[in-house]
Structure 1
Amino acid sequence: MAATLVKNYESTITDDRHPYLTGAWAPITEEYNATDMEVIGEIPDDIDGIYIRNTENPVHEALGRYHPFNGDGMLHMMAFKDGKAEYRNRFIRTRGFEAEQEAGESLWAGWIAYPVQSKRPGECASQQGLKDASSTDVVVHAGKILTTFFMCGEGYRLDPYTLDHLGIEAWTPIDGISAHPKVDEATGEMMFFNYTEHAPFMHYGVVDAKNKLQHYIPINVNGPCMPHDMAFSKNYSILNELPMAWIPEMLEQGIYMPRYDEEKPSRFAVVPRYGQPEDIKWFEGKPTYVLHWLNAYEDGDELIMDGYFQGNPMPDPLKDHPRRYSTLMALLDLHSLEARLHRWRFNLKTGETIEEDLDDEVLEFGMFNQKYAGEKYRYVYSAKPKKEWFLFEGLVKHDLETGEKQTLMFGENRFGSEAPFVPRINAKGEDDGYLVSFITDMNTDTSECVLIDARDIEAGPVCRIMLPHRIPSGTHATWANGEDIRVANAS
C-alpha cells in the first residue's frame, strides 16, 4: 500500500462511554491519500467513477449531550478506473469547523445538548441554530460534490477527485438547504427543499445542469415541521408534511424537540418540477414518519412513490442501555422505529391515496440504479440494520416485479452503510453493475471497500480493498460516473 498521511488533527474528546463515540462509531482524526492498496479478489475494469460516503466525525468534546448527527462532516472517497482504485478522506471545512479548529474546542451545542448553551449562538449555524456540520448527505451535481446538513445549512462544494474545498454554494437560499437534494441524471437538474420555524415553513427549488438556481417557491404547510427527504418523478416533485413536528412551546425557548401526533395524517405536496404554489396537489396518507424515500414514477393517472414507512415513529426508551442513552438509542434504532419498505400511490385525477407494504422486514437506507430515477424501476437495495443500534449488518435486494429478494450479511461485527449502485460501462440491464460500500470490521479494527455483483449479492464481494485506517460508521453515500464528471467540468 502507498498511503500518505496528509494531516492529523488534535482531538479533545475524552468521553469513552458514549455508544456513538466508541466502537464502530469512534471518530478518527487523520486524513489520507492512498493507492496500490491490498486487494482481496480483483478490482473490476468495467467501472469508472467515484464512491463517496459522508460520516459524522467530531474532533472536539461536545458541549453537553452528544448526538452523532452533530459530528463534523468527513468525506471518504474511492475512485475507480481501469481496474485501479484510489482512496482519500477529508474533513468538510465548514465555517463552524474552521472556527472550532481555531478555538481548539467546541463552540456550538448540539441537537440534544439542552440546557447547555452554545458559546457563539447564531454564528455559523444551521437554520435551527446548530453548528452546520454538513455531515449528513452527499451528492455530485454539475461535476462537483455537494454536501448538506439535515437541519438546513449551507451547501459546501468540493472537487470530486481531490476533495479540495471550493467554498459555500453561491445559490444557497437564506433558509439553507436540507439534506437529500435529488439529482436527475437524465436532465442534470437538482431538486432541493428546506424547512424553518417561520412561515411559510418550507421551500422547494430547482438548480439546472450548469448549477444555476432556476426556480424557488414556498410550500405552504400548516406550521413548523421536520421533513428529512423528498422524491421526484419525470414531471413532479413530492414534498411531505408528516405528523412529526417541533413542539411550539419548546421552540419559543429555542429548543428543537419533536413530537409525533398519530391523530394527524401524513400530507404530500405534488408539484410540477417548475410549478407554482397554486399548482400543488395535496394528498393524505396514513400517519407515519419517513426518513428516506426511494424512487417515484408516473403510471397513467397514478404517481407511485416508494420509501420506508415507520410503524412506531416515537418508540419507548430501550431498557437494556444505560438510562442516559436509552432514549437516544431507541430513536436511532430502526427496529424500534419499525421501518419497512412501503409504496404510496397518488391518483392525480381523483386525489385518492392507496398504500401497501412491500415487505415486513425492518430495512432502511435504500438505493437503486440512478439511471432509473423518476422512471419505473425494478430493483431496490436496502440496508439491513442491527437491532438496537444505528449500524448496518447487511444488504437486501428486492425485485419489485417478482417479489423475490436476496440477502447478504457482512459478517459478525462488520458494519457497512447504504450501498449505491455502480453501473457497468455499457451496461445491458437495470441490475448490470455492482453495489459499493465501505465496511468497518471491529474484529480487526480495520476498514475496507467492497464491490458486490448486483445481480447476485448473495455471492458476496467480488473484491475487497483494504483502507489505510479504520473509518467510522456514517450516514449517506453516492456514486457518480466518471464520464459524467468529466463532461460537466469540461463544459
Structure 2
Amino acid sequence: MDIKYKNTVPSTLQPSMHPYLNGAWTPNFTEFTATDLEVIGEIPRDIDGVYIRNTENQVHEAIGVYHPFDGDGMLHAMSFRDGKVEYRNRFVRTKGFEAEQEAGESLWAGIANSVHKSKRPGWGAQGAVKDASSTDVVVHAGKVLSTFWQCGDGYRLDPYTLEQEGVAGWAPVDGISAHPKVDERTGEMLFFNYSKHPPYQHYGVVDKHNKLVHYTPVPTPGPRLPHDMAFTENYSILVDLPLFWDENLLKDNIHRAGYHPDMPTRFAILPRYGKAEDIRWFEAAPTYVLHWMNAYEEGDEIILDGYFQDAPVPEPLPGLPEKVGRLMAGIDMHSFKSHLHRWRFNLKTGETKEERLDERVLEFGMFNQRYAGRKSRYLYSVWGEPGWFLFSGMVKHDLETGESWSLPFGEQRFGSESPFAPRVNAKDEDDGYLVSFITDMKEDRSECVLIDAKDIEAGPVCRIILPHRICSGTHATWADGPTLRGDQ
C-alpha cells in the first residue's frame, strides 16, 4: 500500500458507549489518498469509473443526545481504471464543519434535541441544526453533489480528487433535499425541497450545464417530511406522506413527528417542466417511504417501485431506556418493517393500484441508472442487521420473473449501499458489477468489494483492503469514467 496523502482533522470526541459512536460506527478523523492497495482476487479491467459513498461521521462531542444522522459528511471514493484502483476519503467542508473546527467544539444540537440547545442559528427545514451534507451523494454535470436530508446548500466536489468546489450556486432559499435524481439520458438533475412555510414543498430541474432551468411549488396542506422522489421519461413524482411534524408543537419550535394512519399517502405527478396547476394527485394506502426505486410509463399507467413501511413509527426496541430504544427502532428496518412494493397510477382513470413484491424486510435498493425513467428488469436491495442501522446482505430481484438471489456479507461484515457499475461495453441490463464498502469487525478492517451482478451468489470477484477501518455508512453512487472524462 502506498499512502500518497494523510491528514488528521482535530476532534474533541471521546471514547463512547453510544451505539452509533463505536463498533462499526466508530468515526474516522484521518483523510487518505492511497494506491497499490492489497487485493484479494484480481480487479477486473472492464470496470471504469468512480464509486463514492457518503458517511455520517461525527467530529466533536455532541450537544445533548447524538443521532447518527447528525454526523459530519465524509466522502469515501474508489476510482477504477485498467485494473487499477485508488482510494480517497475527505470530509465535506461545509460552513458548519468549518465553524466547528474554528470553535473547537460542536455548535449545533442534533435532531434528537431541542433546537434551543444550538449555540448558533442553523440550516434546513428544521432551522436550527447543522447542514452536515452527510446524507446523499450523486454526480451531476461532472461534479459530485453532496446533500443533507433536511435540505441544505449542496456541496460540489471533484469526483476523482474530492477537492471541494463550493456550494451549488443555483440552490433556492429552501435548499436542496437529499436524493436529487440524475437522468443520464438527458444530463438533467431533478430535485425537491421542503420547509415550514407555505407552499411547504418545491420541485426543480437543473440542466446538464448545472443551470437551474425550472422551479415550481408542489403545495401541501402543511409542513411535510418527504425524503425522496422519482421520475419517468416525461413525469416527475413527489409525495405528501402521512408522517410529519405536529403543527401545534411547531408553534413552540418543537419538532416531533407523528404518523396519521387515517390519512392517505398522496402522490403528485406532473410533467418534468410542469407547474403547480399541472399536478395530478393520486391517493394510496397510508405509509412512509424512505426510498423510491425506478419509475416508468407503460400505456396509460405510471409504475413506481419503492419500500412500503408497515410501522412508520415503530415501538422502541425493548431492554433499553425509552429514548434510546426509540432512536434505535427509528433507524432499524426490521422495526419499521419496510418491504419492496409497487404502485400503479392510471393517468386516464385516476385510479391507483398497489401490490407487495417481496415479503422480506428490505430497503436501500439500487438499479442500473442507464435505465432510470424507463422500464428496468433488475433491482438490488439490502437487508439489515436486526436492531441496527447496518446492512448484512443483498438481494437481486428479477422483476420480470419474480425470481431472486441472495448474498449474505458474512458474520460481522456490514456493507454499504451498492450501486450498479456497468461493465465496459456492457451488452445488457445486468452486465456489470455491484460495488460496496464492507466493514469487517472480526478482521478489524474495511474493504471495497466488486460483485458480478449476473451472479451475486458467487460472492465478490475481488476484495480491496482499505488503509483504515471506515465508519459504516449508507448512500452511494457510481459515475462512469468515460462520461466523466468526456471520452464519449
Q: TM-score, normalised by structure 1?
A: 0.98
Greater mean deviation of Cα atoms: 162-171 or 1-10: 1-10
For 1:299, the equivalent position in structure 2 comes to 298
* 3-state secondary structure, aligned to 2:327: helix
Give the 3 Å change call, closer, same or farther, for CA 309–59 of structure 1 in structure 2.
same
For 1:316, the equivalent position in structure 2 comes to 315
Take 2:150 and 2:95, find their aligned partners in 1: how far apart are those partners?
A: 15
Q: Which amino acid aligns with 2:397?
A: H
Residues 377 and 400 of structure 2 are in contact (CA less than 8 Å); yes or no, is this contact kept in structure 1? yes
For 2:384, the equivalent position in structure 1 comes to 385
For 1:18, the equivalent position in structure 2 comes to 18
Residues 132 and 154 of structure 1 are in contact (CA less than 8 Å); yes or no, is this contact kept in structure 2? yes
Take 2:254 and 2:96, find their aligned partners in 1: how far apart are those partners?
A: 20
Query: Does residue 1:240 correspond to 2:239, yes or no?
Result: yes
Residues 235 and 273 of structure 1 are in contact (CA less than 8 Å); yes or no, is this contact kept in structure 2? yes
Give the 3 Å change call, closer, same or farther, for CA 487–5 of structure 1 in structure 2.
closer
* 3-state secondary structure, aligned to 1:329: helix
* 3-state secondary structure, aligned to 1:101: helix
Identity rate, percent: 66
- How far the C-alpha of 1:347 sits from its partner, in A, is 0.1
For 1:128, the equivalent position in structure 2 comes to 126
Q: Which amino acid aligns with 2:453?
A: A
For 2:407, the equivalent position in structure 1 comes to 408
Q: Which amino acid aligns with 2:336?
A: L
> Which residues of 2 match residues 100-179 of structure 1 at below 5 A?
100-114=100-114, 117-122=117-122, 125-129=123-127, 130-179=129-178
Residues 15 and 61 of structure 1 are in contact (CA less than 8 Å); yes or no, is this contact kept in structure 2? no
For 2:249, the equivalent position in structure 1 comes to 250
* 3-state secondary structure, aligned to 2:317: coil
Take 1:184 and 1:366, find their aligned partners in 2: how far apart are those partners?
A: 17
* 3-state secondary structure, aligned to 2:139: strand
- How far the C-alpha of 1:476 sits from its partner, in A, is 0.4
For 1:336, the equivalent position in structure 2 comes to 335
For 1:259, the equivalent position in structure 2 comes to 258
Residues 347 and 353 of structure 1 are in contact (CA less than 8 Å); yes or no, is this contact kept in structure 2? yes
For 1:62, the equivalent position in structure 2 comes to 62
Structure 1's consecutive aligned runs of 4 or more residues displaced over 4 angstroms after TM superposition are none
* 3-state secondary structure, aligned to 1:484: helix
* 3-state secondary structure, aligned to 1:360: coil
Take 1:19 and 1:5, find their aligned partners in 2: how far apart are those partners?
A: 31
Take 1:243 and 1:451, find their aligned partners in 2: how far apart are those partners?
A: 38
Give the 3 Å change call, closer, same or farther, for CA 81–184 of structure 1 in structure 2.
same
- How far the C-alpha of 1:394 sits from its partner, in A, is 0.4
> Which residues of 2 match residues 194-205 of structure 1 at below 5 A?
194-205=193-204
1:76-96 CA-partner distances (Å, limit 9, x unpaired): 000000000000000000000
- How far the C-alpha of 1:320 sits from its partner, in A, is 3.0
1:136-171 CA-partner distances (Å, limit 9, x unpaired): 000000000000000000010000100000001100
> Which residues of 2 match residues 27-106 of structure 1 at below 5 A?
27-106=27-106
Take 1:336 and 1:101, find their aligned partners in 2: how far apart are those partners?
A: 36
Residues 204 and 218 of structure 1 are in contact (CA less than 8 Å); yes or no, is this contact kept in structure 2? yes
1:360-405 CA-partner distances (Å, limit 9, x unpaired): 0000000000000000000000011111100000010000011110
* 3-state secondary structure, aligned to 2:464: strand
1:438-466 CA-partner distances (Å, limit 9, x unpaired): 00001122100000000000000000000
* 3-state secondary structure, aligned to 2:435: strand
Take 2:139 and 2:359, find their aligned partners in 1: how far apart are those partners?
A: 33
* 3-state secondary structure, aligned to 2:484: helix
* 3-state secondary structure, aligned to 2:357: strand
Take 2:10 and 2:277, find their aligned partners in 1: how far apart are those partners?
A: 53
Query: Does residue 1:273 correspond to 2:256, yes or no?
Result: no
Take 2:20 and 2:303, find their aligned partners in 1: how far apart are those partners?
A: 36
Residues 242 and 287 of structure 1 are in contact (CA less than 8 Å); yes or no, is this contact kept in structure 2? yes
Take 1:163 and 1:73, find their aligned partners in 2: how far apart are those partners?
A: 13
Take 1:458 and 1:255, find their aligned partners in 2: how far apart are those partners?
A: 47
Take 1:100 and 1:254, find their aligned partners in 2: how far apart are those partners?
A: 24
Residues 7 and 30 of structure 1 are in contact (CA less than 8 Å); yes or no, is this contact kept in structure 2? yes
Q: Which runs of 5+ in 1 are unaligned?
A: none
* 3-state secondary structure, aligned to 2:486: helix
Q: Which amino acid aligns with 2:7?
A: K
Q: Which amino acid aligns with 1:266?
A: T
Take 1:109 and 1:324, find their aligned partners in 2: how far apart are those partners?
A: 16
- How far the C-alpha of 1:321 sits from its partner, in A, is 3.1
CA RMSD, Structure 1 to Structure 2 (Å):
1.1
- How far the C-alpha of 1:113 sits from its partner, in A, is 1.6
For 2:483, the equivalent position in structure 1 comes to 484
* 3-state secondary structure, aligned to 1:250: helix
* 3-state secondary structure, aligned to 1:80: strand
- How far the C-alpha of 1:127 sits from its partner, in A, is 3.2
Q: Which runs of 5+ in 2 are unaligned?
A: none
For 1:210, the equivalent position in structure 2 comes to 209
For 1:189, the equivalent position in structure 2 comes to 188
* 3-state secondary structure, aligned to 1:359: coil
Residues 74 and 92 of structure 1 are in contact (CA less than 8 Å); yes or no, is this contact kept in structure 2? yes
* 3-state secondary structure, aligned to 2:358: strand
Take 1:487 and 1:134, find their aligned partners in 2: how far apart are those partners?
A: 28
Residues 452 and 461 of structure 1 are in contact (CA less than 8 Å); yes or no, is this contact kept in structure 2? yes
Give the number of equivalent residue pairs.
Answer: 487
Residues 391 and 415 of structure 1 are in contact (CA less than 8 Å); yes or no, is this contact kept in structure 2? yes
Q: Which amino acid aligns with 1:98?
A: E
1:44-64 CA-partner distances (Å, limit 9, x unpaired): 100110000000001000000
- How far the C-alpha of 1:69 sits from its partner, in A, is 0.4
Q: Which amino acid aligns with 1:11?
A: S
Q: Which amino acid aligns with 2:60?
A: H
- How far the C-alpha of 1:349 sits from its partner, in A, is 0.5
Q: Which amino acid aligns with 2:243?
A: M
